[in-house]
Amino acid sequence: MIDKHFPVGSMNWPDGTAPVACVDVGGTKVAVSIADTQGLRGRVAEPTIKQGERGALALQVIRLIGQSCESAGIGTDSLAAVGVASCGPFALHRGMVELAAPNICGGLAGQGRGLPNGWLTALLEEPLRLAFPAVRVENDGIAALEAERRWGALQLNGLPLANCAYVTWSTGIGMGLCVDGRVLRGKNGNAGHAGHLFVSDNDEALCGCGNVGDVEALVAGNAIARRFGQVGFADSAALFAAHYAGDALAKVIVDELCRVMGRALYNLIVTLDLQRISIGGSVYWHHRELLLPKLRSGVQGKLPALTDGCELVSAGLGAQVGDFGALALVV
Amino acid sequence: MIDKHFPVGSMNWPDGTAPVACVDVGGTKVAVSIADTQGLRGRVAEPTIKQGERGALALQVIRLIGQSCESAGIGTDSLAAVGVASCGPFALHRGMVELAAPNICGGLAGQGRGLPNGWLTALLEEPLRLAFPAVRVENDGIAALEAERRWGALQLNGLPLANCAYVTWSTGIGMGLCVDGRVLRGKNGNAGHAGHLFVSDNDEALCGCGNVGDVEALVAGNAIARRFGQVGFADSAALFAAHYAGDALAKVIVDELCRVMGRALYNLIVTLDLQRISIGGSVYWHHRELLLPKLRSGVQGKLPALTDGCELVSAGLGAQVGDFGALALVV
């Protein structure tokens, strides 16, 4: 399923359907595309705004939607809906989603992360609802899960799998979970925050959420820079470049990252009895040929009654899974 | 909710209802009770049979059902149904549940556990169906979860909680999970085998499932005996007696057991966004006043967006949760 080209036409988009905006809010960047009968187009992206007022990020999203419409040659007033796939966790205020995301809100971790704001939450849904007629905001893991079940790697014979997960290995670690045919939400819609699992006793790494040594603190894109910058790997690109060049230390580090991530995937399987996990995200996607076999070997052979019938695959929607995740929320 | 006396009459058992047999199959013992309008009665229990043919355990269950009926003064032919709550994992053969439980089947771990059989699975459902008209076999974690949601600590204002878990800390570690109002089952009905989570790097302890250092290998009742027998604690009773007597080593060990178990509970909460976890099982139940505060402190303060709204409580059905779990399957 790796590298499959995915044309928007294969979604059977009905003629005459009004365009929708697809918004992907991550810890590193915000991306907006327009989807209509001509496909996914007009993509614009910027680094995620993390300073100013608590509404700054929502205003950035509104501005980028305008730019994306302009680039696609449509008016913003022709948009039928806006789908927003965002990193979490979410907090609900007056029924509207705000972000309590440690990679964005500097007021959450309380120390050491250097974010230039003191936000406990960032506004998101309420300003968008004032600007657009129909808005749906979901966790990006859930959005990508829905896209992968409809159009990507989490299908069997054209039908969505009943027991599956989507895992993003990116700036942070996010997940969407589906058991017995239903996407899990939980008491505040925050099910799937399993990037904050503890799977190891490593106590050197501080997570943005305040945890010490959870999975995101150990292996996420932003963790690689923080943990291994001082040994010469300024970011994940530098680490993997060194690995491909045969650097022994880089190989040890990549193996340890995969050990931790493999344990997180295994933990999902034994908790939920899954059939398949689809993996994407910027860290994973660029190095999937290296990483997938290592992740598989971290799961294989452990508790075969649960793992034997579960496969790990790369996201069928590839690097576009974030855009399609937002799209899945509104079509 | 601790220590609440639970009279079977409060289940509003209808007059004239035929009796049912409630079977609790654990790694250490098998217990059978009869439930009818007079209550839960005729309880008989024996150590779990782990030798002989692969059908030996099922024959033991059938024999104990007969003894329980005799003790309750009814004939086995008057039973309307048999509910079986059993430790897992399960394997399905011709649509019938067999046990692939590492605490029972000596052929699974392959080494070191000293079980006097070479079984890869133990028969369970098929012999029972030949002997009784209606049989329902479920994982004991799921059965106890259903009982706790109907009659125990996993209710709010008389209604079952939508996002909750039951966790047993006993010979093994078992769990039943409920998200968005639905009990999770997974591809083979094995969801909730989170006793086999990895939460620590400890690599000294071999689990019956073959894993090294999973939660069950580190903290389950049978693990306590294996891990700490050589330092003077022959079983969990000896360990806790030493703790209450002020033994410094016992205190360190109990704190470490609670650290590991607390991480497993935290992992469930961030994966599923739960409202409440109810805890039971023989190791926990006898020492709940000591253990519950330690488990709570292992969760509190970690990722407040998910943990603040989740409470840990002792099982409302107390030491009877196993019997009521089996009952919940057939009434």
pLDDT per residue as tens digits for the range B305-329: 899 999 999 999 998 899 999 999 9
> CA-CA distance, A197 to B292, in Å (whole number)?
21
Check A309 against B188: CB less than 8 A apart. Answer: yes
From the list A190, A193, A199, the residue facing B199 with the nearest CB is A199
Beta bridge partners of B165: B177, B277
Among residues A13, A144, A37, the alpha carbon closest in space to that of A83 is found at A144
Min Cα separation B293/chain A (Å): 20
Q: With 60 as the cut, is the pLDDT of residue B7 above it?
A: no
Among residues B224, B221, B218, B225, the alpha carbon closest in space to that of B202 is found at B218
Check B185 against A179: CB less than 8 A apart. Answer: yes
Q: B202 contacts in A (CB within 8 Å)?
A: 201
Q: B199 contacts in A (CB within 8 Å)?
A: 197-199
Min Cα separation B9/chain A (Å): 32
The CA–CA distances, whole Å, from A225 to A192, A220, A286, A292 equal 24, 9, 16, 21
Check B273 against A210: CB less than 8 A apart. Answer: no
Check A272 against B186: CB less than 8 A apart. Answer: yes
pLDDT at A234: 93
Q: What is the mean pLDDT of each run of 10 residues along chain A (331 residues)?
A: 43 76 94 92 96 96 98 96 94 91 82 79 97 94 96 95 97 94 94 93 87 95 92 95 98 98 98 97 96 97 90 95 93 87
Q: Is B238 left (phi over 0), alpha (psi -120 to 50) or beta?
A: alpha
Q: Is A188 left (phi over 0), alpha (psi -120 to 50) or beta?
A: alpha
3-state secondary structure of A154: coil
Burial of B246 (0-12, 13-18, 19+ CB in 10 A): exposed
Here the tokens at position A283 are: 């860290």
Here the tokens at position A201 are: 């006793």
pLDDT at A12: 62
Per cent of chain B over pLDDT 90 is 78
Check B271 against A198: CB less than 8 A apart. Answer: no
Q: B301 contacts in A (CB within 8 Å)?
A: 210
Check B267 against A302: CB less than 8 A apart. Answer: no
B-interface mutation test, from A99, A145, A198, A214, most B Cβ less than 10 A away: A198
pLDDT at A60: 98
Kindly list the domain boundaries of chain B, sorted by start residue: 8-139+322-328, 153-315
Check A184 against B272: CB less than 8 A apart. Answer: yes
User: Which residues are within 8 A (CB) of A5 and not within 5 positions of it... i.e. 6 or more apart?
Assistant: none
Q: B218 contacts in A (CB within 8 Å)?
A: none
Check B179 against A184: CB less than 8 A apart. Answer: yes
Min Cα separation A180/chain B (Å): 6
The CA–CA distances, whole Å, from A89 to A97, A101, A164, A229, B303 equal 10, 5, 21, 27, 9
pLDDT at A110: 59
Min Cα separation B249/chain A (Å): 21
Among residues A68, A79, A80, the alpha carbon closest in space to that of A43 is found at A68
pLDDT (tens digit, 9 = 90+) per residue, B101-113? Answer: 888 998 886 544 6
Confidence of residue B130 (pLDDT cuts 50, 70, 90): very high
> CA-CA distance, A152 to A317, in Å (whole number)?
5
pLDDT at B6: 46
pLDDT at A277: 98
pLDDT (tens digit, 9 = 90+) per residue, B291-306? Answer: 999 999 999 999 988 9
Among residues A101, A118, A117, A283, the alpha carbon closest in space to that of A210 is found at A101
Cα angle A82, A87, A90 (rounded to 5 degrees) comes to 90
Q: B209 contacts in A (CB within 8 Å)?
A: 303, 305
Q: B198 contacts in A (CB within 8 Å)?
A: 199-200, 263, 266-267
The fourth-level CATH superfamily of domain A153-315 is ATPase, nucleotide binding domain (3.30.420.40)
User: Which residues are within 8 A (CB) of A256 and not within 5 positions of it... i.e. 6 or more apart?
Assistant: none
Min Cα separation A143/chain B (Å): 16
Among residues A95, A93, A91, A94, the alpha carbon closest in space to that of A104 is found at A91
Check B180 against A185: CB less than 8 A apart. Answer: yes
Check A89 against B275: CB less than 8 A apart. Answer: no
Same fold, B8-139+322-328 and B153-315: yes
From the list B189, B201, B310, the residue facing A200 with the nearest CB is B201
Sign of CA dihedral B56, B60, B66, B67: positive
Phi, then psi, of B92 in degrees rounded to 5: -100, 130
CATH number given to A8-139:
3.30.420.40
B-interface mutation test, from A175, A179, A260, most B Cβ less than 10 A away: A179
CA dihedral B283, B284, B289, B292 (to 10 degrees): 140
pLDDT (tens digit, 9 = 90+) per residue, A7-17? Answer: 454 566 667 77
Among residues B199, B194, B200, B196, the alpha carbon closest in space to that of B167 is found at B194
- β B135-139/B122-123 pair status: unpaired
> CA-CA distance, A125 to A188, in Å (whole number)?
15
Q: A194 contacts in B (CB within 8 Å)?
A: 267, 270-271
User: Which residues are within 8 A (CB) of B196 and not within 5 positions of it... i.e. 6 or more apart?
Assistant: A270, A302, A303, A306, B207, B209, B211, B214, B215, B216
Beta bridge partners of B38: none
Among residues A330, A321, A327, A322, the alpha carbon closest in space to that of A6 is found at A321
Rounded to the nearest angstrom, the gap between the alpha carbon of residue A15 and the centroid of all alpha carbons in its chain is 30
From the list A179, A190, A303, the residue facing B305 with the nearest CB is A190
pLDDT (tens digit, 9 = 90+) per residue, B217-274? Answer: 999 998 998 999 999 999 999 999 999 999 999 999 999 999 999 999 999 999 999 9
Here the tokens at position A29 are: 């960047």
Phi, then psi, of B165 in degrees rounded to 5: -145, 150
Check A202 against B202: CB less than 8 A apart. Answer: no
Check B267 against A210: CB less than 8 A apart. Answer: no
pTM for this structure?
Answer: 0.91
Q: A196 contacts in B (CB within 8 Å)?
A: 270, 302-303, 306
Q: B162 contacts in A (CB within 8 Å)?
A: 187
Counting one residue from A and one from B, how many pairs have CB atoms under 8 Å apart?
A: 157
- β A81-86/A20-25 pair status: parallel
Check B199 against A202: CB less than 8 A apart. Answer: no
Check B190 against A302: CB less than 8 A apart. Answer: no
Check A182 against B187: CB less than 8 A apart. Answer: no
> CA-CA distance, A324 to A312, in Å (whole number)?
20
> CA-CA distance, B303 to B301, in Å (whole number)?
6
Here the tokens at position A87 are: 């990193």
- Under a CB-based contact definition with an 8 Å cutoff, are residues A293 and A259 in contact? no
pLDDT (tens digit, 9 = 90+) per residue, B49-79? Answer: 999 999 999 999 999 999 999 999 999 999 9
Check A263 against B198: CB less than 8 A apart. Answer: yes
Q: With 50 as the cut, is the pLDDT of residue B4 above it?
A: no
From the list A182, A186, A199, the residue facing B274 with the nearest CB is A186
pLDDT (tens digit, 9 = 90+) per residue, B8-49? Answer: 545 666 677 789 999 999 988 999 999 998 889 999 999 999
Which amino acid type is present at position A261? M
CA-only gyration radius of chain B, Å: 19
Check A306 against B268: CB less than 8 A apart. Answer: no
Cα angle B156, B157, B163 (rounded to 5 degrees) comes to 20
**Which string of b and e fits B135-171 if b means at least 16 CB within 10 Å?**
bbbbbbbbbbbbbbbbbbbbbeeeebbbbbbbbbbbb
Fold annotation for B8-139+322-328? Nucleotidyltransferase; domain 5 (3.30.420)
pLDDT (tens digit, 9 = 90+) per residue, A20-62? Answer: 999 999 988 999 999 998 889 999 999 999 999 999 999 999 9
What is the complex's ipTM, to 2 decimals? 0.90
User: Which residues are within 8 A (CB) of A293 and not within 5 positions of it... i.e. 6 or more apart?
Assistant: none
Q: A265 contacts in B (CB within 8 Å)?
A: none
From the list B187, B197, B272, the residue facing A309 with the nearest CB is B187
Check A303 against B211: CB less than 8 A apart. Answer: yes
